[in-house]
């Protein structure tokens, strides 16, 4: 178990004699296997299921589920990329856009090739 882990689910870790929860690890809190007093196998299952993660819990509004929040963020990012593309190609013909893409492709390929050849020459030396 390396690094910090965060709860992506609430964990009841202590109950009183009437069965009421008196101590909870809340979503977003730092969490460890020892706090839950569970085996390595059980801990690994929590990590595999996503209930415990190395990524911090996102700052999500209380009335939105994490999944819905992630979908909304992805939709916003997609819209931004689409607007950037629209702005970059505004007023250009399809031929001009294709020509710009064709010019960019050899430059990208050359930079990838030069990076590969320089790293291979370093390793052979």
pLDDT in tens, 9-49: 889 888 888 988 788 898 889 999 999 999 999 999 999 99
pLDDT in tens, 81-93: 888 888 777 777 7
3 φ, ψ (degrees, to nearest 5): 75, -175
- Mean pLDDT value of segment 55-68: 81
Residue 57 in tokens:
């819990």
- What pTM value is reported for the model? 0.52
The neighbouring-strand residues paired with 7 are 52
Domain positions in the chain: 5-53, 62-90, 93-125
């Amino acid at each position: 178990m390396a690094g910090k882990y965060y709860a992506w689910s609430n964990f009841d870790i202590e109950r009183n004699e009437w069965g009421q929860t008196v101590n909870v690890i809340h979503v977003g809190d730092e969490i460890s296997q020892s706090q839950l007093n569970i085996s390595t196998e059980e801990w690994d299952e929590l990590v595999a299921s996503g209930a415990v993660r190395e990524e911090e819990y996102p700052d999500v509004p209380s009335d939105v589920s994490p999944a819905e929040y992630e979908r909304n963020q992805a939709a916003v990012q997609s819209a931004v990329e689409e607007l950037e593309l629209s702005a970059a190609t505004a007023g250009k013909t399809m031929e001009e856009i294709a020509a710009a893409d064709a010019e960019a492709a050899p430059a990208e390929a050359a930079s990838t090739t030069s990076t590969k050849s320089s790293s291979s020459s370093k390793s052979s030396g």
